[in-house]
A = this chain, B = another copy of it.
Amino acid sequence: MAEAEGARLRARAWGIRIGSQGPGAGNAITDVPGVLVGAVDLVEGSGPLEPGRGPVRTGVSAVWPASGNLVERKVPAAVHVIHGFSKCCGLVQVEELGWIETPILITGTLNVGRCADALIEYLFFKRGWGFHTLNPVVMECNDRYLNDIAGRHVRREHVFAALDSAAAGVREGNAGAGVGMKCYSFKGGIGTSSRRLDIQGSPFAVGCLVCTNMGSLADLRIDGVRVGESLRGGSDPGAAADRAGGSIIILIATDAPLSGRQLKQVARRATHGLARTGTCSDSGSGEIVLAWSTGYRIEDPGDQPCVVSRRLHDGRLDPFFRAAADCTEEAILNALWMAETMTGRDGHRLERLPAGKVRAILERAGYRFHAQG
């Protein structure tokens, strides 16, 4: 199913446009000011799986949710579990307290412990934050179809490098945690998207970053069109990969001052965007949404009992719900469009999405392409 296409382009560059709201400057989660993304890719060896040794097809992505000292100026956040077959760590405290105080790492399932440990070391000893306690947030998908997961190949230095490499702009597809991941039986990984909102004259941004690892080819829909069925014909080259399980991590950021309750409601709408790409969220899938706001910070008011702050009124939430759904859908498409074919352990191979064929299918379905992203 592979095609000889040149450099990959994002879904929007192919004329696909999700929803009616416009994207931010980079159509990326880093369009939310203060959000930075870094990644380290680990690709080594080939051939049969030797548990603990390789081949290695994994990585780590680091997302700084806001600028400055996150421990002293915590970031309001909420989590929503679509399906909890998941080993993510740090979420009990996010659920109770409604904030995060570390960068968010995404990685392969069994690297979570090492990444959490490295994140503490980095923040304590490289940044001088904390020393008392710290709640590292590490999200995961399972890259075992391509990767030697038993080897837990993401080490301290990779975490440090991912954190240090963070910048505005997002490398998509086989980047960081996305190196070994799949998406609807194709190669997937990291994808991102953003939306600009105008609420009664006030501009706000919403951004999404996903690490995809879910879905079966037959279910794939592109902006509603059943592309998966058409691509599959009678056979499903990715069926083996599908049986290796699923998962998706969805991060949603906004600069609007949303309360924890509102962030949770926004996080829940990621399900709508995810569902529109076709999956029903398998029973073996860990599908977790983490949403946060950079619109205010949580700080001790010193000698005062109370803090005064600004929050979006509940009556203004609907555009944010729409943005969360649309960004999630488009971020998933970008993961598909930007990932490159990858061969991993035991010759397992995930093909990149045949974007040309997909375009042809969309054309046959009367899809109304847009000239410009």
A positions within 8 Å CB-CB of B: 20, 51-52, 81-93, 95-98, 109-110, 112-121, 124-125, 131-136, 142, 144, 149-150, 152, 199-202, 218, 221, 223-226, 245, 256-257, 259-261, 265, 268-269, 271-276, 279-283, 286, 288, 298, 300-301, 303-318, 321-322, 324-325, 364-367
Contact = CB atoms under 8 A, between A and B. Distances in A.
Given A226-B224, A260-B261, A269-B280, A311 B312 contact: no
A281 B324 CA distance: 12
B152 A144 contact: no
B114 A85 contact: no
Given A87-B89, A133-B245, 8 more contacts: A87-B133, A113-B119, A133-B149, A200-B304, A223-B224, A268-B281, A298-B314, A301-B313
Contact of A85 (B93, B260, B308): B93
Q: Count copies of this chain in the complex.
A: 4
B310 A281 contact: no
Given A117-B152, A265-B83, A305 B314 contact: no
B89 A84 contact: no
Nearest to A120: B110
Given A226-B224, A307-B310, A307-B311, A124 B51 contact: yes
